[in-house]
Amino acid sequence: MVRVIYNERFALLTDYPFERLRALLEGITPPPSPPVVMSIGEPQHPPPPFVRDLLDASSALWGRYPPMNGTPEFRVAATDWLTRRFALPAGFLDPDRHVLPVAGTREALYLIAHLVVPRRKGSARPTVLIPNPFYQVYVGAAVMAGAEPVYVPSGRQSGFLPDFTLFDPKILQRTPYDPDTLNRTALAFLCTPANPQGSVADLEYLKQAITLARRYDFVLAVDECYSEIYDSIPPPGVLHACADLGGDLTNVVVFHSLSKRSSVPGLRSGFVAGDPDIIAAFARLRAYGGAATPLPVMAAATALWQDEVHVAENRTLYRAKMTAAERLLGGRFGLCRPAGTFFLWLKVGDGEATARALFQKAGIRVLPGAYLARPDSTGVNPGRHYIRVALVHDLDTTVWALERLRDILG
């Protein structure tokens, strides 16, 4: 038998969080009622009816290979949406130079590292800055691109956002980090609103991150996939910050998706926008290994970016569930109503033990926070005391699950 030879970097990856959760819950028999899966951020709200209509109307296009850069109509719709949503100056974005459709942003967030992380930066191995806790794809991207992941504290002290200032040479003498970290950085990931904590970066924070990226010549990749699931104030975007800094998009790319905004995770449609040189190079890379969006999907996605009515309705449903969570959980478990996302980040003591108890006693699946984090410079996993709870079901199911969670955890 011939033995398969793997890329040696593959051994550096841990199991994906949901595989770890499956192993954690193995052997537990939950109550006979159907389980409530609150471990994954898969929206359960019905998508707008016109999605099916457009897919049916475009069915003849399934027989055509789609272009990698999508259709002109899609790129214009995405550009127009960005301009409206983030109050960008007219003409700030060119749909043919600044926007590239992708088959869901997970693929794009992974591939961006393969594009912008060099073998060496200067004379050293490059680093990728990753918020801690984080979305797992950031780590896979960094590791498989050959970079050193640097986990940036994103706890309560920094407003649950990565504190990139830790690496500023002016204050490095007070931190345990390598003083050459920023010089070696090729890529920094930022998620706002943050997954899992729901914190939102303000414009000043975004401007500071952009300035740092340009000063040290690394790419700032901003994951704004939860930007439309907000509580009361629309989160600012990194493109708005670029406009305020003079209109230059150098070193900045932003990722947007329809999965959360429009409750169509199965559509696998999003886009990346920003620095035109990076967008052009990204299109070239994706021609080799990316998945082009089918033309019927592109037609439906175009219409979704042009419509805000269903997005507002979607947001109203999430707000009702957050209100219910506040009412049912009160000030317990460190609950702080997030500014964005549909996750609760609850401090429960032992995240793994809590996940097992909730599944065993109520059939509720939640994700231990430790599976979304890595040990910090002191060896402590910042997510170990937390669970992530996704409020993706209908209101009645969500209320039932939160009541059971409250009663079981006491």
Q: How far is CA 179 from CA 75, 83, 172, 186, in A?
A: 41, 39, 6, 15
pLDDT score for 173? 45
* pLDDT at 172 (0 to 100): 45
Q: What are the sequence ranges of the domains in the chain?
A: 8-46+310-409, 60-307
In order along its 410 residues, the chain shows pLDDT tens digits of 567 778 888 888 888 999 999 999 999 999 998 999 999 999 999 999 999 999 999 999 999 999 999 999 999 999 999 999 999 999 999 999 999 999 999 999 999 999 999 999 988 899 999 999 999 999 999 999 999 999 999 988 888 999 887 776 654 444 556 767 888 999 999 999 999 999 999 999 999 999 999 999 999 999 999 999 999 999 999 999 999 999 999 999 999 999 999 999 999 999 999 999 999 999 999 999 889 999 999 999 999 999 999 999 999 999 999 999 999 998 899 998 999 999 999 999 999 999 999 999 999 999 999 999 999 878 899 999 999 999 999 999 999 999 999 999 98
**Are 322 and 231 spatial neighbours (Cβ–Cβ below 8 Å)?**
yes
Compute the radius of gyration of the chain from its Cα atoms.
Answer: 21
Across 26-170, the runs of DSSP E, i.e. the strands, are 36-37, 99-102, 127-132, 148-153
Strand 99-102, strand 270-274: pairing: antiparallel
Amino acid 225: pLDDT: 97
Burial of 68 (0-12, 13-18, 19+ CB in 10 A): middle
Provide CATH code, domain 60-307.
3.40.640.10
Q: Kindly give the pairing relationship between strand 386-390 and strand 367-368.
A: antiparallel
In this prediction, residue 209 carries a pLDDT of 96
* Nearest-5° Cα angle at 393, 132 to 225: 40
Pick the closest to residue 274 from 116, 146, 120 (CA basis). 116
Can you tell me whether residue 285 is helix, strand or coil?
A: helix
Distances in whole angstroms, Cα of residue 278 to Cα of each of 86, 138, 241, 284, 378: 21, 18, 18, 10, 36
pLDDT, tens digit, 9 for 90 and up, residues 256-275:
999 999 999 999 999 999 99
Peptide bond into 193 cis (omega under 30): yes
Please give the Cα distance from 147 to 261 (Å, whole number): 32
Nearest by Cα to 189 from 119, 249, 137, 138: 138
Q: Which residues contact 195 (CB under 8 A, 6 or more apart)?
A: 41, 134, 135, 223, 225, 226, 341, 343
Q: What is the pLDDT of residue 157?
A: 85
Same fold for the pair 8-46+310-409 and 60-307: no
Whether 210 and 247 have beta carbons less than 8 Å apart is answered as no
- Count CB atoms within 10 A of the CB of residue 154: 25
| pTM of the predicted model as reported, rounded to 2 decimal places | 0.95
What is the C-alpha to C-alpha distance for residues 214 and 341, in angstroms, rounded to an integer?
Answer: 29
Would you give the DSSP letter of residue 39?
Answer: S
User: 8-46+310-409 in CATH: which number?
Assistant: 3.90.1150.10
